[in-house]
Chains A and B, each alone.
Chain A
Amino acid sequence: MIYEVFRQERKGQPFHHAGSLEATDQTFAEAYAKEFYGRRGESEALWVVPREAIIEVEDFADELNRNYHRVDGYSLREKLKEARERAGRALVARDR
């Protein structure tokens, strides 16, 4: 069985994925996880999770391309550029 191991570097910090390992059961998985990700003092704690227990979600429909729902959907740089251009045109018009 494959186990995924998550590692916390210091108390209070989030756990990050460290890697995976193969073990016949939970006891072996724990021992190997300690061996691979803990024996050099690099971890405060580990989460050892059977890969099957992880629910993977990767299907995010966005058929109508509603990009304003997304963080990157509103490009500040582009909007600024547009605004500067508009302001520039206004200045030119005024000076004329």
Chain B
Amino acid sequence: MNEQDVRSLLEIADDELVLGWRDSEWTGIAPFLEEDVAFSSIAQNEIGHARALYELVARESGTTADELAFDRSPGEYRSSILVERRLLDWEKTIARHYLYEMADAQRLDELMQSDNPEIAGLAAKIDREEAYHRMHAQMWFDRLRDEPRFTAALDELRPLLDAGRDEHSPELTELWEEMTMVRRSQPAGTKW
């Protein structure tokens, strides 16, 4: 695995971890019960994907998935600003979901072509679950495509796809505080 591989795997892992957290913020308060269950399950999948990707990188670099996920400082994350945003409007959440899934599909397609069989294999596994996410995003897109508040949300969020990964929003730091609070409450190496 070369440096570029590690870099792109971490980008995806960080995106999936942060988006998983953001999506899970809808658990219990989604617009209706059925969607609450479906969206929470998608959030859980994303965190599962992040874990698998971190594990792959961790084996290469002699660390652990948890250390990669939680022991870096916010500035070291490679996530996109798109997933960092704390979106409390459903139309914006769905707009992000749609934009993210479409971009993620392209990225996974490239990983599936990797010469490294471990990377290609994991990407294919993840893609089989993402296919369900894409279907879910597409059905919401089809439903809301003529809603002005939805198209406005798409227009607002689309530029964030190309915003780069070196700059992060203050929202990532807030999320990081929350996400690592329990872990930081104990000395490193504590077994839970």
Interface residues of A (CB under 8 A from B): 21-24, 27-28, 31-32, 34-36, 39
Query: In the complex the two chains form, is A32's CB within 8 Å of B34's CB?
Result: yes
Report A23 CB to chain B, min CB distance, Å: 6
Interchain nearest-CB distance for A67 vs B (Å): 45
Expressed in whole angstroms, the minimum distance between the Cβ of A19 and any Cβ of chain B is 11
Beyond A31-B136, A35-B41, 20 additional contacts (C-beta under 8 Å) are A21-B34, A22-B32, A22-B33, A22-B34, A23-B34, A24-B143, A27-B139, A27-B142, A28-B34, A31-B38, A31-B139, A32-B34, A32-B35, A32-B37, A32-B38, A34-B132, A35-B37, A36-B34, A36-B37, A39-B41
Q: Which applies to chain A's interface (DSSP): helix, strand, loop or mixed?
A: helix
- Cβ of B135 within 8 Å of any chain A Cβ, yes or no, is yes
Encoded as 1 (CB less than 8 Å from any A CB) or 0, chain B from 30 to 53 comes to: 001111011001000000000000
B184 to chain A, nearest CB (A): 34
A-B contact pairs, 26 of them (CB 8 A): A21-B34, A22-B32, A22-B33, A22-B34, A23-B34, A24-B143, A27-B139, A27-B142, A28-B34, A28-B139, A28-B143, A31-B38, A31-B135, A31-B136, A31-B139, A32-B34, A32-B35, A32-B37, A32-B38, A34-B132, A35-B34, A35-B37, A35-B41, A36-B34, A36-B37, A39-B41
Q: Please name the residue on chain A nearest to B139 by beta carbon.
A: A27
How many residues on B have C-beta within 8 angstroms of the other chain's C-beta atoms? 13
Number of A-B residue pairs with CB-CB distance less than 8 Å in the complex they form: 27
Most buried by B among A21, A31, A39: A31
Residues of A within 8 A of B143 (CB): 24, 28
Instruction: With CB as the reference atom, state the residue of chain B lying closest to A35.
Output: B38
CB neighbours of B33 from chain A (8 A): 22
Closest to B34 in A: A32
- Kindly state the separation between the CA atoms of A34 and B34 in the bound complex, as whole angstroms: 11
